[in-house]
Amino acid sequence: MASAWRGFITFGLISIPVKLYPAARSTRIRLHQFHKVCKTRLRQPLFCPKCNRIVERSEVIKGYEYEDGKYALIDPEEIKKITPETARAMEILAFVKESEIDPLFFDSSYFIVPDEAGKKAYKLLLKTMEDKDRVAIAKLTMFQREYTVFFRPYDHGITLHTMYFANEIREAPGYGQTDNVKLSPQEIKLADQLVDNLSEEFQLKKYHDEFETRLRALIKAREKGRSIATTPRAERAPVIDIRTALKKSLEQTAKGRKKPLYLTREATAQEKRTRRKAS
């Protein structure tokens, strides 16, 4: 696997030669676009409408639209001239508690692998962070962008996480505006009990991409000229009474069934009839 970045971690006067490798990559299937009429795969060439021809990659430069229809053109050599020192070296700027970094700022993850000459310094940094229960904050330039990053001990090594800057965190209309919603003590108690029933240790291998599995099955069926059965969809009727739904959910989870319950009007009516008969 090719490394995504190669350079140095600077830790005071210590310099550690390292390489970065992606810690996770999506394995999702990519579907190409085809012309529906003749079933030919479609291409997206770089076409210049003024010269009326397709251009080569070597002829391409970049630009920024600062006004409608007006661009500031930038040559690749100019970008190289302004690339900061963090393109080759990550200087540790601070050590902080990991709990102080909100996961909302997390972007991508990488494994930091030391070169042979840097293994001792790498191990020293790893042990120090483990003993002090701290993570390191640094800056890194990669893929023509500078990131604030933090690295932390993970599985006998050090992982790096790129982060969004504060001005990149967006706002959503209405988010967090629930102060006017009233909850009864019984609803809170039932919800607490439901959380207790569903609580367990996190196991990543337990969760799978069901859509990806079904898409692969569809592709294999198409390869063999077969059709595939439609997956039935669960009907989600509106919950009539949140307290009743919580009680029913508790009954299900107490029996080891962990599927969410969506009460139908018929089910609610049946429950009321049962109560009247019992009384």
Q: Residue 68 burial by CB count (10 A; 0-12/13-18/19+): exposed, middle or buried?
A: exposed
Cβ–Cβ < 8 Å for 203, 255:
no
**What CATH code is assigned to 5-25+82-166?**
2.40.290.10
> Alpha-carbon distance 155 to 136, whole Å?
17
Q: What is the CA radius of gyration of the chain?
A: 28
Q: Residue 138 burial by CB count (10 A; 0-12/13-18/19+): exposed, middle or buried?
A: buried
Question: ∠ at Cα 184 (179, 186), nearest 5°?
Answer: 145
**Which residue(s) pair with 251 in the sheet?**
none
> Alpha-carbon distance 147 to 138, whole Å?
8
**Which residue(s) pair with 95 in the sheet?**
136
Cβ–Cβ < 8 Å for 37, 43:
no
Supply the DSSP symbol for 174.
Answer: T
| Structure tokens given for 86 | 């963090």
Tell me the domain boundaries of the chain: 5-25+82-166, 185-195+209-278
Report pLDDT digits (tens) over 231-276. Answer: 666 666 565 577 787 788 788 777 765 444 444 444 444 444 544 5
**Which residue(s) pair with 139 in the sheet?**
148
Residue 227 pLDDT > 50, yes or no? Answer: yes
**Which residue(s) pair with 67 in the sheet?**
70
Strand ranges in 23-155 using DSSP code E only, listed in sequence order: 47-48, 53-54, 62-67, 70-74, 89-96, 106-114, 135-141, 146-154
Residue 45 pLDDT > 50, yes or no? Answer: yes
- What pLDDT is recorded for position 234? 61
231/66: higher pLDDT: 66
Report pLDDT digits (tens) over 150-165. Answer: 999 999 999 999 999 9
Residue 81: helix, strand or coil by DSSP? helix
Please state, rounded to an integer, the average pLDDT across all residues of the chain.
84
- What pLDDT is recorded for position 247? 80
> Alpha-carbon distance 86 to 93, whole Å?
12
Supply the DSSP symbol for 34.
Answer: B
Amino acid at site 229:
A
